[in-house]
Amino acid sequence: MAEQEASGLQVLLHTLQSTSDRESILAILQVLGDLLSVGTDRRIHYMISKGGSEALLQTLVDTARTSSPDYGILLPLFRLLVKVGLRDKKFGQKALELEALDVTLTLARKNLSHSQNLLHCLWALRVFASRVTTGAILGINGALELLFKVITPYTRKHTRIIRAAAEVLAALLKSKSNSRRAVNRGYVTSLLRLHQDWHSHDTVNTYVQIRQALLLCLKHIATIRSGREAFLSCQGMEILFSTTQNHLDDKSMEPIISVVLQILRQCYPKSLLPLLTASSAYAFRIPGSITSEPPRVLTEEDFEDDGDEEVDRDSDSEDVKEEDNDLETDMNKLSSKPGLDRPEEELKQYEAMCLELSYSFEELESTLEEDLNFEGTQRANHHHIPAAASPKQHGLNKDQSCWGLEREDTVQTSLLSMVKMGRSTVHLASKKTPAMKTYPKVPCSRLGIDSSGNEIPDIQAVLKEDVWDIDAISCRRMSASLANSTMPTESVEVIDKVLQTHPKDIPFHDPHLYMAKSRRTRSVPDFKMMAFPDLWGHHPPPSAQSMLERKCGVQRIKIFEDVRRLIQPSDVINKVVFSLDEPGPLQDTSAPHCLRFFSKFESGNLRKAIQVREFEYDLLLNADVNSPQHQQWFYFKVSGMRAAVPYCFNVINCEKLNSQFNYGMQPTMYSVKEALLGRSTWVRTGCEICYYKNHYCRSAAATGGASGKCYYTLTFAVTFPHSEDVCYLAYHYPYTYTALMTHLDILEKSINPKQVYFRQDVLCQTLGGNPCPLVTITAMPESNSTDHLEQFRQRPYQVITARVHPGESNASWVMKGALEFLVSSDPVARLLRENFIFKIIPMLNPDGVINGNHRCSLRGEDLNRQWLLPSAHLQPTIYHAKGLLYYLSSIGRSPVVFCDFHGHSQKKNVFFYGCSIKETLWQAGCPVSTSTVLEDVSYRILPKILDKLAPAFTMGSCSFLVEKSRASTARVVVWREMGVSRSYTMESSYCGCNQGPYKGLQFGTRELEEMGAMFCLGLLILELKSVSCSHQLLTRAATLLNVEEEALDHHLQSSSSSNNIATELDDEPPCLEEIDYNTDSSLGQEGSLFELDRQIRECAFNKEEGEEDEGAGQEEKPSQSPELHGKSRASNHWTSSCDSTSPSSETHIVRARTKSRPM
């Protein structure tokens, strides 16, 4: 049957090409039209495969070349050609080879006075022009000149033809050669005049499609340098800016505004950042390396032209998914296990980091009475250490406690019991009420009220700059020999006085200990100051904050403001008020209404601040040390503000293509006055938030040799709660290296060493001379008996790392939650300690964190791309972390789970990246044979468990693909080289959740810490679900839940997907959530070619079309004054000399092309 259909179609096509009988041709065209008018595109593609395009094109050429072309045949033929050509990716090339391009152009020239025939020719040209190379040929053959004869100034006649001609012209100008031709012939001026004319007369927006097509012509011309120069010389920026300002809120003008924005952004003159060099303001000499050259000053040579000579690309070429190209499909690389990257004898050094395997525990002879005495002593001597089991002391009330920590006056509740309840209901109340007002208005008096209602005397005096930032909050850098020296007496006294006046019980934080630790922290710039938030500590808000609702049109407003700054610079101050590159103070502290900035403290990052207007500042971030790039993290102090005044901050040198700042995320702010008043400290803040591409060029050095790339602007407005406050703004909740070291010391002092084995080791020294901590947590053996010691030493390992990327501070908050939970008295934590040994490296890149880097080490390299062949001298933390894992593997103690905590800037929720051979091959389209590829599918169990347990976690965003570009990451290397099937990266969004109980909420530190605890709970559930789980552990877990073992087992089976292997094999990952990261503002579609289908179908019902009184198709008749009816404004004012190729019958067509010089 199929053969008969094929042969029948081929007979029709063959007859169409060979016959000259008019009736036969019309009949065949009618049959083909009927066949293709119903069903799907599959019929059209089938016809194309049988030579349908060639047959139709050949018939067009033969019919057109007769002495008197028969338009009764040509018109239905054109309609059929367009329908087929839209689906044939090689249609343009076929038309070129069969000379159909020249034929169609000739027909168009001959029919300038016949609207119906001309319209069909224009439709065909539109399809031909969809291929850029074909469009270039049309341009060479005079298509541009022809179209400018058809496109007239404003008229209410022939609007369908004018629209079609403008759309053809826009398609032709995608070819750079055509764009250059248009510039050389002065068409930029003509297009701007046409735009102005149609804009000024089309007052009711009837002909938006024509105006949009004219603007698209300008947009395509602006892709070349000469086009932008011509546009600017014709005052195009001013024209488009002025013609749109009164229509920004008009929805019917949306297609116009969208294209105008794109043109303005393209033509905005590119400039260099107002910096001396793209490299970091801080330089660090790597020990043993050759002295590096001084940073090179940026010049125009860094920025090449954006491609005037670029080869035209075919618009119909098939796109290949970059992600699929990056997938690793080499089975040798996926499945083979490479050998050690170091001599085996080197692994012996890591025995000292695993003393738990050889320790004798003789002191376990102590009595229970001594244990009780110890607990009393601990609580007496360490008043700043909260009982880990008290929700009150964790800043959580009864309803908000999400860890189930034991309460002071009630029976202990385990986190495991929450599994029965399903997802946590923490913070749900916050979603039922309006967004909380973070900062209530406070009278600006010299008295304040603390959280207990007591007066706080003279807050203004306490907050003076010279008190807080010069004397009190200082940490003088000392040599190693003076590391134990005390701070200046005056500083300690002032801080003690403030702490006594404003006592604050922040769990696991001690300002005095923080100061002591800070003196030992080594930084490249040798910081002299501490930031107040890090010293004082963080008290989170009582509930999670909602995501910011994005204001419609905020991006376009910001772009227009940038354009206004360019063309109307009279009110621009442009004064540098802070710079790391300039020695000495730049600010006159007495200058009124000028903010004061500072960032020279641990984790601080602000390189330069420029006052643009009275309440607007451009900010530039510092690149990572020894790097010209990675500007994203910021953390700086600002003071001298006025309350109730919105200040606009523009961070103008961001690098990522897009950000969650476009999708509800807010930066964070810390107010010193609010902290002293006992209120929430780090909170989300800001409105009018927008992240978009700007006009500042990135140097080739900063882009790996690529030219033409630009930076991005993050802009947001902040209204400060108090006048003359001291506030800190940050990309995310800061967590410094000193905070970690302080936290670890307090944790160690908070536990009972008779029950909890908590050991701090130094993994290694960093390049900057800071110790990288390694923490071991497990339960002490019940006694020093052989059986108990054996059970202790045979516990499996779990390895967790974090903060390899310094700017991902959310990873540290998740780690903080995990650490505090693991040492707590929660029954789940006890079970975990009794069954596992946790090896934790909470900060893999201390130097980067200390110096305010976003991604790199002091060598300017991403440490999470160094795991394949790390160097002990250049990447010591990675080298020794890998060495420790090698050692555990060599003694048969590879971890059950390896997880590296990260932060994610472009997705929401918390999710895993894992490794799977089969899923990678499946995604890449490679055949997967279960007989040749054997894989442990248990890698999916833990994320499925967390999907059921953790409110923030979603399985839907997890991916288990192995990419070539990730071959040197921790996740892939540990999976491949150590054979750890459950090797993960856990990503936590900087923003928040779009699913589950936290949907619509931004993450606070409490939610991040909760995720750390939930991760630990997931490890326990994973063990309970494993085949090797002991009967004793199942019994104890069941006891915690007060249920029978069978009920527990049933619950665990139902809380996640079936553990059946066959089911797991078929359980492919769902598609990841798609987030629109379009960098353009409200990008308008240029009009799909398939819009022609609609026009053709409409035309098929109108065999005879006279001159239109108004626009046809979708255009409606505008209600205008009678004097505009029937009168075309085709005056000689708009005309100029044209080519002599047009026939004499075209004289009544208005010629819009002009040879005049640019305005």
Residue 671's H or E segment, with its range, is strand 668-671
One DSSP character per residue, 652-670 reads EEE-SS--GGGGT---EEE
Which pLDDT score, from 0 to 100, does residue 1088 have? 53
Any idea which residue has 């000379």 for tokens? 99
Which pLDDT score, from 0 to 100, does residue 767 have? 96
According to DSSP, the residues that pair with 684 across neighbouring strands are: 668
One DSSP character per residue, 276-341 reads SBSS-S---PPTTSPPPPPPPBP-GGGS--S-TTPPPPPTTSPP--HHHHHB---HHHHH-----S
According to DSSP, the residues that pair with 305 across neighbouring strands are: none
Which pLDDT score, from 0 to 100, does residue 894 have? 95
Question: Model confidence at 681, in pLDDT bands (50, 70, 90)?
Answer: confident
- The number of CA neighbours under 13 Å toward the Cβ of 28 is 24
How confident is the model over 951-968, as a mean pLDDT? 93
Q: Within 10 Å of residue 609's Cβ, how many Cβ atoms? A: 24
d(CA 955, CA 975): 20
According to DSSP, the residues that pair with 649 across neighbouring strands are: 617, 716
Which pLDDT score, from 0 to 100, does residue 752 have? 92
Q: Output the CA–CA distances (angstroms, integers) from residue 209 to 261, 624, 1006, in the order listed.
A: 16, 47, 51
Which pLDDT score, from 0 to 100, does residue 369 have? 42
d(CA 466, CA 451): 26
pLDDT digits over 899-949, tens only? 999 999 999 999 999 999 888 888 888 876 656 777 888 899 999 999 999
Helix runs in 691-768, H state only:
737-750
Mean pLDDT for all residues in the chain: 78
Q: Which of 152-166, 992-1006, 1048-1062 has the lowest mean pLDDT?
A: 1048-1062
Question: Model confidence at 1027, in pLDDT bands (50, 70, 90)?
Answer: confident
Q: Output the CA–CA distances (angstroms, integers) from residue 1118 to 206, 249, 612, 1115, in the order listed.
A: 6, 21, 45, 9
Nearest partner of 402 among 987, 1008, 1052, judged by Cα: 1008
Nearest partner of 204 among 156, 252, 260, judged by Cα: 252
Q: First CA to last CA across the chain, in angstroms? A: 67
In terms of phi and psi (left: phi > 0; alpha: psi -120 to 50; beta: otherwise), the region of 979 is: left
Long-range contacts of 357-365 (CB under 8 A, 24+ apart): 357/793, 360/784, 361/780, 361/781, 361/784, 361/789, 361/792, 362/784, 364/754, 364/780, 364/781, 364/783, 364/784, 365/784
How confident is the model over 140-161, as a mean pLDDT? 92
d(CA 454, CA 481): 44
d(CA 819, CA 748): 11
According to DSSP, the residues that pair with 910 across neighbouring strands are: 953, 988
Evaluate if residue 462 carries a pLDDT over 60. no
Question: Model confidence at 383, in pLDDT bands (50, 70, 90)?
Answer: very low
Q: Which of 214-228, 533-547, 840-854 has the lowest mean pLDDT?
A: 533-547
Evaluate if residue 593 carries a pLDDT over 80. no
Any idea which residue has 């008749």 for tokens? 1117
555 contacts 694 by C-beta, under 8 angstroms: no
Higher pLDDT pick, 83 / 469: 83
Q: Within 10 Å of residue 422's Cβ, how many Cβ atoms? A: 12
* Structure tokens that stand for 746 in this block: 């307090």
Phi, psi for residue 926 in degrees, rounded to 5: -85, 145
Q: Which residues contact 804 (CB under 8 A, 6 or more apart)?
A: 844, 845, 863, 864, 878, 900, 902, 970
Catalytic sites, residue numbers: 987
Question: Model confidence at 1050, in pLDDT bands (50, 70, 90)?
Answer: low
Which pLDDT score, from 0 to 100, does residue 786 have? 86
Nearest partner of 685 among 699, 696, 676, 674, judged by Cα: 674
Evaluate if residue 872 carries a pLDDT over 80. yes
Question: Model confidence at 714, in pLDDT bands (50, 70, 90)?
Answer: very high
Which pLDDT score, from 0 to 100, does residue 1007 have? 96
Question: Model confidence at 996, in pLDDT bands (50, 70, 90)?
Answer: very high
Return the percentage of the chain with pLDDT > 90, whole number.
53
d(CA 372, CA 541): 36
Question: Model confidence at 621, in pLDDT bands (50, 70, 90)?
Answer: very high
d(CA 964, CA 931): 25
Helix (H, G, I), strand (E, B) or coil at 526: coil
25 contacts 80 by C-beta, under 8 angstroms: no
Q: Which residues contact 647 (CB under 8 A, 6 or more apart)?
A: 595, 615, 616, 617, 641, 717, 718, 719, 720
How confident is the model over 145-154, as a mean pLDDT? 93
- Predicted TM-score (pTM) of this structure: 0.80
606 contacts 619 by C-beta, under 8 angstroms: yes
* Structure tokens that stand for 757 in this block: 């084995």
pLDDT digits over 716-752, tens only? 999 999 999 999 999 999 999 999 999 999 999 999 9
How confident is the model over 26-30, as a mean pLDDT? 89
Q: Which residues contact 1011 (CB under 8 A, 6 or more apart)?
A: 814, 817, 910, 950, 952, 953, 988
Q: Within 10 Å of residue 1064's Cβ, how many Cβ atoms? A: 18
Evaluate if residue 1116 carries a pLDDT over 50. no
60 contacts 94 by C-beta, under 8 angstroms: no
Determine the residue type at 328. E
Higher pLDDT pick, 1147 / 658: 658
Considering 295-299, 578-582, 785-789, the range whose residues carry the highest mean pLDDT is 578-582
Evaluate if residue 1125 carries a pLDDT over 50. no
The CA angle 802-805-809, to the nearest 5 degrees, is 70
- Rg (the chain; Cα; Å): 35
Helix (H, G, I), strand (E, B) or coil at 423: coil
* Structure tokens that stand for 1067 in this block: 């359980």
pLDDT digits over 496-531, tens only? 777 777 766 788 999 999 999 999 999 999 999 999
Q: Output the CA–CA distances (angstroms, integers) from residue 590 to 284, 464, 586, 595, 726, in the order listed.
A: 35, 13, 12, 11, 16
pLDDT digits over 1063-1099, tens only? 333 333 333 333 333 434 333 334 455 566 666 666 6
646 contacts 719 by C-beta, under 8 angstroms: yes
Which DSSP state fits 271?
B
Nearest partner of 832 among 403, 424, 387, 425, judged by Cα: 403
The CA angle 999-1001-1002, to the nearest 5 degrees, is 130
1113 contacts 160 by C-beta, under 8 angstroms: yes
Q: Which of 87-101, 279-293, 538-552 has the lowest mean pLDDT?
A: 279-293
Which pLDDT score, from 0 to 100, does residue 745 have? 96
Q: Within 10 Å of residue 764's Cβ, how many Cβ atoms? A: 16
d(CA 770, CA 654): 29
